């Protein structure tokens, strides 16, 4: 039997080959030639007379294979070469002519990217990336809203690093959780629904909140930082009151009541005024007026007004004159006042978390 038929064009140029490879009398393979080289190979595997495998060639090399694996006349599986020696695989699972699964492999045959359209709306609702066979990221639309509501990032070892969630379904991320050594070390939340975090909480090794950063309404960046005792009570509060991005005021808190404030008026991180509170009310203030880091003026308050002021006029670290009203008063070492010879100290609030710079 004849098992190969060659069709020629003008000038005896071969245009097409028909082959009966299995000797059953049917030509199940057809090869289209260009300049004597294969350009397209079509095979009929089920014998129905219709091709169910198509292999395309470019520059003499195979670059795309299409398969109709369920023999319904639709080529639902496709393999194509990509730059760098890799391959892209696609599959149309519902037969609508649009790929629902796409897998990209590198030159070593390892998957680098996988996309799936699980609800057949034409948009991927799962996208995963891989490096060296290890998962590095996952994006998922779990509710079919057309946007990713779950995003996960992994480190080079495949360990989870960060999760981002859209919990209210508005297609904006409103929860960010960062993981280190298998535990959540910080978490940020959008509590106002504007797509921007309003609070970030850091956790200690026992998963207890250690401090918290807050973005006040109307502010573009955080302006408050709270530090917690292990029992959850606030021990200190730092504020950015001038909007410069750094801290200029720190309060110490005991039992929910402010006991001390340290004010940095020139944004150098060092206190210029210490405010001492009694029963939640400002009792006296220690002020550095000459910029040497130590208080040289102490003001005592009553009813919200200064009732006594003492000064270290010669800068020797000791009070040497006091005033009450318009006149001089006896110079006495004020009871309960921190030694004015000691430095007011730094605010020691640290910085806002790098997350806010995203």
Q: What is the pTM of this model?
A: 0.80
In whole angstroms, give the CA distance from residue 310 to residue 312: 7
Per-residue pLDDT, 105:
94
- Give the residue from 310, 325, 319, 309 showing the smallest Cα distance to 341: 319
Name the one residue in this structure whose structure tokens are 């492999």. Answer: 105
96: number of Cβ within 10 Å: 12
Per-residue pLDDT, 59:
85
112 touches 137 (CB < 8 A):
no
Per-residue pLDDT, 22:
81
Per-residue pLDDT, 21:
82
In whole angstroms, give the CA distance from residue 312 to residue 5: 112
Q: Spell out the per-residue pLDDT of the chain, length 358, in tens.
A: 788 988 998 888 899 999 998 888 889 999 999 988 999 999 999 888 899 999 999 888 888 999 998 898 888 999 998 888 899 999 999 888 899 999 999 999 999 999 999 999 999 999 999 999 999 999 999 988 899 999 999 999 999 999 999 999 999 999 999 999 999 999 999 999 988 999 999 999 999 999 999 999 999 999 999 999 999 999 999 999 999 889 999 999 999 999 999 999 999 999 999 999 999 999 999 999 999 999 999 999 998 899 999 999 998 888 889 999 889 988 875 555 557 889 999 999 999 999 999 9
In whole angstroms, give the CA distance from residue 8 to residue 4: 13
246 touches 223 (CB < 8 A):
no
- What six digits make up the tokens of 129? 């990336």
Per-residue pLDDT, 261:
97
Work out whether the CA dihedral 155, 156, 159, 164 comes out positive or negative.
Answer: positive
211 touches 228 (CB < 8 A):
yes
Work out whether the CA dihedral 112, 117, 123, 128 comes out positive or negative.
Answer: negative
Coil, strand or helix: which one is 78? strand
- What six digits make up the tokens of 179? 């993981």
Name the one residue in this structure whose structure tokens are 């710079």. Answer: 357
Q: DSSP character for 339?
A: P
Burial class of residue 237 (count of CB atoms within 10 Å of its CB; 0-12, 13-18, 19+):
buried
């Amino acid at each position: 039997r004849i098992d190969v038929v060659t069709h020629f064009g003008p000038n005896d140029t071969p245009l097409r080959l028909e082959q009966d490879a299995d000797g059953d009398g049917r030509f199940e393979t057809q090869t289209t030639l260009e300049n004597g080289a294969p350009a397209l190979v079509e095979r009929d595997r089920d014998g129905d007379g219709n091709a169910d495998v198509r292999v395309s060639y470019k520059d003499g090399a195979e670059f795309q294979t299409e398969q109709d694996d369920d023999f319904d006349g639709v080529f639902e599986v496709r393999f194509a070469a990509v730059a760098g020696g890799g391959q892209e695989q696609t599959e149309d699972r519902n037969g609508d002519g649009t790929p629902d699964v796409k897998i990209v492999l590198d030159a070593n045959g390892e998957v680098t990217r996988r996309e799936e359209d699980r609800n057949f709306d034409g948009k991927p609702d799962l996208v995963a990336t891989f490096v060296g066979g290890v998962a590095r990221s996952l994006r998922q639309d779990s509710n079919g809203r057309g946007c990713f509501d779950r995003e996960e990032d992994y480190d080079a070892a495949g360990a989870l690093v960060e999760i981002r969630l859209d919990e209210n379904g508005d297609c904006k991320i409103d929860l960010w959780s960062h993981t280190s050594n298998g535990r959540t070390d910080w978490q940020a939340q959008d509590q106002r629904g504007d797509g921007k975090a309003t609070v970030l909480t850091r956790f200690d090794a026992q998963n207890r909140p250690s401090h918290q950063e807050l973005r006040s309404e109307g502010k573009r960046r955080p302006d408050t930082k709270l530090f917690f005792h292990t029992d959850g009570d606030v021990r200190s509060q730092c504020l950015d009151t001038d909007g410069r991005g750094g801290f200029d005021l720190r309060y110490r808190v005991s039992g929910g009541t402010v006991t001390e404030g340290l004010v940095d008026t020139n944004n150098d991180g060092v206190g210029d005024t210490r405010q001492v509170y009694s029963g939640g009310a400002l009792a006296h203030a220690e002020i550095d007026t000459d910029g040497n880091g130590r208080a040289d003026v102490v003001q005592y308050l009553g009813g919200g007004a200064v009732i006594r002021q003492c000064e270290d006029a010669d800068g020797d670290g000791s009070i040497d004159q006091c005033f009450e009203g318009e006149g001089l008063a006896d110079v006495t070492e004020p009871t309960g006042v921190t030694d004015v010879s000691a430095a007011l100290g730094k605010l020691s609030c640290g910085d806002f978390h790098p997350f806010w710079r995203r």
